[in-house]
Amino acid sequence: MSSGGSGGAGGQPATHSLAFRVMRLCRPTLHVDNSPLKFDPCDLLFGEDLFDDPIAASHLPRLLGGQSNASALDPADLSYRGRFLLQQPTDSLGLPGLLVLPQAFGAIYLGETFCSYISINNSSNFEVRDVVIKAEIQTERQRLLLLDTSKSPVESIRAGGRYDFIVEHDVKELGAHTLVCTALYTDGDNERKYLPQFFKFMVSNPLSVRTKVRNVKDTTFLEACIENHTKSDLYMDQVEFEPAQYWSATVLRAEYHSSEPSSLLSETFKEPILIKSGGGIYNYLYQLKFSSPDNAQFKAESSKILGKLQITWRTNLGEPGRLQTQHILGNPVTRKDIELHAVEMPSVIMLEKSFLVGLNLINLVDRVLGPFQVWVSESGSPDEKAVVINGLQTMTLGEVQPHSSLKFQLSLIAVKHGIQKISGITVYDTVEKKTYESLFEMEIYVDLE
């Protein structure tokens, strides 16, 4: 799959002594042979049950005497028995450990390293001198010089000779790329000639990462879904979440309990994380915690950026690729001003018998809040509420000092039995005119008489 690329622009008479040959040099692959067609002679020369017979079995070694299940093939042996007889039982796997050069240019993805073997051949009958070679990558945005021999030009390339080099480039842009190879040389007629050759390739996106952020109380959970858009399976070598300042992250993994007994083997061969080609996905879950100096305002601003995901994947023979996501943003955290907790609950709640619930209202901010009004709001459903306030429907509470709390009791009555919910408790700040709903919910069991 080596190529000589398209020639230079302009009306140049194409009589060049030199020509570029280019081959993409990604890592080789291990050859897999689906039909090694190698056999144990016993499977061909004799019926499969012949050696059930003890007499036949006793003769087997002699019958096979001429064979060498010889492991090392004698080079003096001019037969092709290695293509016909199994040397090792594992030969039938067809995975001899033979490496194969890349046979096609293949696809190139963002985050990979483009590596190429470049050979300049002198196919003329004359020596060529003072060769200045340049190789660069051109994209829409920039030109990157990969090789430049101007400071020390190649003195000569003999007739039929070659000059080789290998270039590497970390692919950081999407879209069209051109590898431009140029040679400036003095040919056999003592003319200074210029040979440009262009090799085009496209770079596409190998993965997409979708994130979901959920807040549960004080913990933020980040779910990252990685989808593979490439043509090969990707081995996830390292996927790490790098949290932003003041954030800390722990990855949450399911405990994998293998049904097989643990052994040296099962520890050596852990289950790999492999994302299937062409749309396969894998999910990662991170638990994030925010901890910073106490300034609440500071908290609100800096908590928006959660961090970045660093992904390193590998394909055949460990060919690596690396990408980093953009900043992952958290949900705008509306830090709560107040919290409502139950501190006292009766052990038994009877249907249509009032009961007292002890509640604690906590002021989380630096200023005085309140006075408050507390009521149980109507639920939106056509059904009657299961638990209602017994007595005055609205309770008035006084002010609460900064970072301090206020205990109070609500008298409630359950009008339905069974498992019911205390919900809809609404707290209204009469000064700031702010309504706090859904601060508190609890399930209770309502007994019949």
Positions 405 through 444 that interact with another protein (CB under 8 A): none
Residue 6 binds another protein, judged by CB under 8 A: no
**Cα 338 from Cα 399, distance rounded (Å):** 12
**Cα 110 from Cα 321, distance rounded (Å):** 8
Residues of the chain by 3-state class (helix, strand, coil), percent to 5: 10, 45, 45
> Smallest distance from the beta carbon of 19 to another protein, in angstroms?
5
Question: CB burial class (10 A; 0-12, 13-18, 19+) of residue 313?
Answer: buried
At 268, which helix (H) or strand (E)? helix 264-268
Cβ neighbors of 317 (< 8 A, separation 6 or more) are 27, 28, 29, 30
**Cα 307 from Cα 286, distance rounded (Å):** 11
Note the residue count of the chain: 449
- Indicate the residue among 100 and 343 with the shorter CB distance to another protein: 100
Choice from 103, 152, 334, 347 touching another protein (CB under 8 A): 103
Radius of gyration of the chain (CA): 38
> Smallest distance from the beta carbon of 139 to another protein, in angstroms?
25
Matching residue, tokens 């092709």: 80
Stretch that binds another protein, among 29-37, 355-363, 375-383, 384-392 (CB under 8 A): 29-37
Largest CA distance in the chain: 115
Residue 121 binds another protein, judged by CB under 8 A: yes
**Cα 90 from Cα 145, distance rounded (Å):** 48
Closest by CA position to 120, among listed 153, 66, 165: 165
- Indicate the residue among 72 and 254 with the shorter CB distance to another protein: 72
Stretch that binds another protein, among 19-27, 359-367, 377-385, 431-439 (CB under 8 A): 19-27
Stretch that binds another protein, among 218-226, 270-278, 284-292, 345-353 (CB under 8 A): 270-278
Matching residue, tokens 């919290």: 339
Choice from 9, 265, 392, 448 touching another protein (CB under 8 A): 265
CA distances from 292 to 123, 186, 300, 362, 445 (A): 69, 68, 11, 21, 40
**Cα 125 from Cα 129, distance rounded (Å):** 13
> Smallest distance from the beta carbon of 196 to another protein, in angstroms?
17
> Smallest distance from the beta carbon of 270 to another protein, in angstroms?
7
Choice from 12, 100, 248, 281 touching another protein (CB under 8 A): 100
**Cα 203 from Cα 83, distance rounded (Å):** 42
Alpha helices in 2-121 (DSSP H): 42-45, 54-63
- Indicate the residue among 71 and 347 with the shorter CB distance to another protein: 71
**Structure tokens belonging to residue 410:** 């609500």
DSSP secondary structure code for residue 323 in this structure: E
Residue 164 binds another protein, judged by CB under 8 A: yes
Residue 9 binds another protein, judged by CB under 8 A: no
Residue 55 binds another protein, judged by CB under 8 A: yes
Residue 326 binds another protein, judged by CB under 8 A: no
Residues in 332-351 at the binding interface with another protein, rule: CB under 8 A:
none
Residue 154 binds another protein, judged by CB under 8 A: no
Residue 46 binds another protein, judged by CB under 8 A: yes
- Indicate the residue among 218 and 269 with the shorter CB distance to another protein: 269
Stretch that binds another protein, among 1-9, 285-293, 335-343, 368-376 (CB under 8 A): 1-9
Choice from 6, 12, 69, 88 touching another protein (CB under 8 A): 88
CA distances from 378 to 315, 387, 393, 430 (A): 59, 10, 11, 20
DSSP secondary structure code for residue 127 in this structure: -
Phi-psi sector, 302: left (phi>0), alpha (psi -120 to 50), beta: alpha
Matching residue, tokens 């073997």: 117
Residue 215 binds another protein, judged by CB under 8 A: no
Residues in 219-248 at the binding interface with another protein, rule: CB under 8 A:
232-235, 237
Stretch that binds another protein, among 23-31, 142-150, 186-194, 361-369 (CB under 8 A): 23-31
> Smallest distance from the beta carbon of 249 to another protein, in angstroms?
23
Choice from 6, 12, 69, 98 touching another protein (CB under 8 A): 98
Residue 190 binds another protein, judged by CB under 8 A: no
What type of residue is 380?
A: G
Backbone angles phi, psi at 55, to 5 degrees: -65, -50
Residue 51 binds another protein, judged by CB under 8 A: yes
Choice from 9, 14, 15, 78 touching another protein (CB under 8 A): 78
- Indicate the residue among 63 and 252 with the shorter CB distance to another protein: 63
Quick note: the x/- pattern for another protein over 378-397, rule CB under 8 A, is --------------------
- Indicate the residue among 111 and 370 with the shorter CB distance to another protein: 111
